[in-house]
Amino acid sequence: MQRIALVVQYLGTRFYGWQRQPDHRSVQADLEDAIALVVGYPVVIHAAGRTDTGVHAAAQVVHFDVDSLIPPTRWARVLNAGLPEDILIRASALVPSDWHARFSATWRRYRYTVFTASQPNLFVSPFAWHYYYEPLDERLMEQALLPMKGRHHMAAFHRAGSSRPHSWVDVQDVLIERDGDFLRLEVQASGFLYGMMRLLVGLLVQVGRGLRTPEEFTELWTSERRDEVKYAAPPQGLCLLRVGYDDCPFPESAWYDAQPKLSLPFESNAPPILVTP
C-alpha cells in the first residue's frame, strides 16, 4: 500500500464545490471515480482544503492510499488520460504513510481577482469579478487589510453551516496589487473559515468605494459584527492559489504560481486603434 499525493488544478465553474455530494457534480467525486476506474476498487481522497461552489484551484493538494504497481510519478499522466477537461493533475509523488494533505499543510494561499474595466470581456469573466459600478481605491483597501496579519478571531467572516468549532485564524501574509484594470487580493493563512475569503472581499470592496473607512473595516471584524457582513463576492474570482508544506514533495514549478495573472495589453479607457486597409 502506497500513499500518493497529487497537485490538482480545476476550473470550479461546473462544480458544486470540492466535497462529494449525492446530487451534484464535485471535484472529489470525479477524482475518486477516475482513480477507482484505474485500480478497480473505491478509493477515498483527502484534500488540503474544501473549495466552495464555483471556486477554482490552481494547486490544490490531495492524497490517497492505493495498492498498485503504477510508479508514483506516473499517476499524473495516468489520471489525466481519463479526467474531464476541467480537472488536471500537474504532479504526483510518493509521500510517507503519516503525511496528510490537510494536516501536514502549514498554510494555504488564496487569490481573488477583480476586473474593473467599464466594458465586460468574455475571456476574463470566468476568472474574475467584473466590478464596474464604482472606482476602487486599492490604497484604502490595503490599509484595511494590513491589520489582519496575525492571529485573530474572524467570526465576522465565518458563514453558517461550518463544522469548525472556532473562528481563530493565523493570517501570515496579505497582498493587494493593481495591474491596469485588474485588482488582485491575496491572503495566506494557516487555514480559512468557511466562506471567509468571499465575505472578506465583499466587505473590502466597500472600503475601496469609500463607503467604509479602513478603521471602520477593522473595528467591524475585531468586534465580530457578523450581522453587518452581508455580501459575499461572487465565486468565480476566487482561486486556491497554493498550499505550503515544511517538506513539499513536488517541484516548485508544479505548485508555486500555477494561476496565470490576468492582464490586458491596453487600458480599457484608451482610445481605439484604427486600422486602415
Answer left, alpha or beta for residue 169, where phi above 0 means left and psi between -120 and 50 means alpha. Answer: beta
Match 484534500 to its residue by C-alpha cell. Answer: 47
Give whole-number Cα distances, 223 to 143, 204, 206, 213, in Å: 18, 16, 18, 15
Reply yes or no on whether 52 is catalytic: yes
Q: Closest by alpha carbon to 102, among 164, 148, 50?
A: 50
| Residues, the chain | 277
Would you say 90 and 9 are in contact if contact means Cβ atoms under 8 Å apart? yes
Q: Which three cell numbers stand for residue 229?
A: 457582513
Q: Which three cell numbers stand for residue 159?
A: 458563514
As to burial, measured by CB atoms within 10 angstroms (0-12 exposed, 13-18 middle, 19+ buried), residue 99 is middle
Q: Which three cell numbers stand for residue 124?
A: 476574463
The answer for residues whose C-beta is within 8 angstroms of residue 213's C-beta and 6 or more apart is 140, 207
The answer for residues whose C-beta is within 8 angstroms of residue 14's C-beta and 6 or more apart is 25, 86
Of 23, 30, 33, 52, the active-site residue reads 52
* Backbone angles phi and psi of 180, in degrees to 5: 65, -120
Question: What residues does 85 pair with on adjacent strands?
Answer: none
Sign of CA dihedral 194, 196, 199, 201: negative
Known catalytic residues? 52
